[in-house]
Each structure stands twice: as structure tokens, then as C-alpha cells.
Amino acid sequence: MNSTGQMKTWTLWKLLIFTFLQVGISGIVFIYIRVSVNLDLGVPILQPPKPLRSSLLVEEKISNLTILLWTWPFGVRSHIEKCSRLLGIPDCHITVKRSWYPKADAVLIHHFDLYGNPQRLPQEPRPLSQRWIWFNLESPTTYSVQSFLDSRFNLTMTYRRDSDIYIPYGWMDVLPQKQNVTIPPKSKLVAWAVSNWKPDSQRVKYYQELKKYLQVDIYGRHHLPLPRDQHLSTLSQYKFYLAFENSIHEDYITEKVWKNAFFSWAVPVVLGPPRKNYERHMPPESFIHIDDFPSAKELANFLHTLDRNTTRYESYFHWRSWLKPNGPTPWALMFCKACRALQENPGQYQTIPDLSKWFKQSR
């Protein structure tokens, strides 16, 4: 082979070697890019990246949160259930043993049980990052929020929809399929169960005017007896129930509607926050609001009209074909809602400077 042929052969080998090197380098770069893209997209690979392992450690830590119940609400012991069963979340360690205070991630403090006495709050220094949860089901009229509670709590847990942890007196569940509605037979017109009778209250004054035009059977202290085991069976005889709240505040819609009226299949006649507030919790055609009438006399006339018109009366039950009223919220579920809130926001640490002002105001 002459020198010219040798040169061509050598040039060809160099070209082949260069091509193989280019393909090899390109392959390595492609694999690197592919793995990087997969990691960005969250595509699993055989060996998880370090950030994923770190997140697993955080999740394991969250599942071991400890919540200390500073007191049993109203001093009444209740059963503590697993949050994994109630809400399908990792279980928190929920305890009433105050020896856990230095190690607790959160302390749940029931407003009624410390009312008016700052000495009933935890007196030991608060551990770093421990959160205090203010837990209250009472209205600010019944049990006011004193200024000594300002700048102490990190989370709110009340019936207010704008609370950090929302615990309503009742709620509506959507039925899996449409149901036929059968209204229980009714033999009486209007009932009202009331134990806290204050002659100068708005609800009693309204009743005093209403009774001039309408017969109302009153149950409770100093009135007709209403045994606990006959509560719903007695009220279910009535077409209407006066769900008059003892004070008027946003979202303060209590068992007077959810239990006394809805559970007994009586149409609630409500006195409380404005109609629009009720409609955030229940269908607009499920209740009658006193504000819809210029006077108690006009309301009485309307109830008499419904009593005589079966079709119009039954229209107040149409919503039951696709909704079911539920409540009250069990204590165990309230505790687990606090557990869930802590898990969902493990890094959240806020201080509520004006708790008293916030709870008094309306949105």
C-alpha cells in the first residue's frame, strides 16, 4: 500500500474514533438530562434523591405530634379516638396528662374552663415552637374574651368559619344518591325549648309579641317538661320550631337548628345572624327567618298559611332528597381536627395579638 492509501486509512480510523466518542458523550449527556428531568417531574427512580428522603423524615415526625388537652371541656371526660380512623390522617398523641407539657407540640385550651382567671392558663415557661390553641364554642356575649388572652394563642378553634380550625355545631352531608322524602306526621303547630329565660332578651321579647297571634308550646325550665329521652320524639310532633339563639353573632348557629329542628323534622324559624349567614350553612329554603317579615304578626300569619297549605309546607323539605343534616361535632373529632391542622401546617407559627377584638367583630 502506498503512502497515499495509508493516509486515507488513518484518516478513516480517526473519523470513526471521533464519531464513537461523540456518540458516547452524547449518550452520557442524554442520560444525565433524562434523569434530571425525571427528578423535576417527580418520576420515581430506583434510588430516591436525598430531598425525598428528607421529606419522609418530616412526615414521620409529623405523625408523632403530641397535643395536650389542658382540661376536659366543661370538666366532662370523653373518649379519645384514633385520628386515622376519624379523618384518615396519621395519629397524634392526644393526652390530658400535664406532665407532657414540656414535650407537647400544642396545648388545646378550652375557653369556658379558664374564663376570667389567667391563673388557669399554663404557668410554666412555654417550650420553643409549642403552639397554644384557643378552643371556644360559646358566643362572646355569653362568655366574653378578656384582654389577658391577647398575644398568647397561635391558633383559633371555634364555630366561626374564619377560624384556623373550624368546628361548627352542625353541617350538611351530600347524599350519595337522591332520596325519597317522607315527612313524619305532625299534629301540633309550634314548639320552643328554652332553659335560659331572660325577659329582657331579644328572643323573649319577640316571643311575647308573637304569642299574641300564634299558639307556641314552650318546653324547658319553668315550662313544660322535656325529658332527655323524649326530646326529639316530643318536638317531632310539631310543624315548626323556634330556633331562637340566645345572642346574635356571625356563624353562631347552634343545636337549636341542627338538633332541635332538623333532627325532629320541624321547620326552623330562626332568630340569629342575618339570613345570608344562615345560607352559608344550609339551603335557603330549609328555614324561615324572622327578618323576612316586617313584624311578628306577619310571621304568625305566614305560619298559619303554611299550616293550611300542605304543598307549600312540604316545599321546606325538598332539600332533604339530596342533603342530610349532621352534628353536633363529637369531642374526639374536634381534637382530631386540631391534629390535622398541625400536620398540614407544621411550620406555621403565628401569634394572635387581638383575640378579644377578632372574636367580637363580624366579617
Catalytic residues: 138
Give the list of residues 6+ apart from residue 292 with CB closer than 8 angstroms, or none.
275, 299
- Neighbouring CB atoms inside 10 A of 315's CB total 13
CA distance 311 to 322: 19
Coil, strand or helix at 50: helix
Distance CA(157)–CA(137), nearest Å, equals 8
Q: C-alpha 78: how far from its chain's center?
A: 19
Phi-psi region of 327 (alpha: psi -120 to 50; beta: other; left: phi over 0): left
CA atoms within 13 A on the CB side of 39: 12
Contact indicator for 296, 210 with CB cutoff of 8 Å: yes
Distance separating the N- and C-terminal Cα atoms of the chain: 97
Say whether 109 sits in a helix, a strand or coil.
strand
Report CA-CA distances (Å) from 51 to 47, 54, 61, 82.
12, 5, 16, 30
| Cis geometry, peptide bond prior to residue 328 (ω within 30 degrees of 0) | yes
Q: Do 169 and 253 contact (CB within 8 A), yes or no?
A: yes
Rounded to whole angstroms, how far apart are CA atoms 138 and 347? 29
Q: How buried is residue 310: exposed, middle or buried, by Cβ count under 10 Å (0-12/13-18/19+)?
A: exposed
Q: Which residue bears the cell 309550634? A: 190
3-state secondary structure of 224: strand
Q: Residue 283, exposed/middle/buried by CB under 10 A (0-12, 13-18, 19+)?
A: middle
- Hey, which residues does 278 pair with through a beta bridge? none
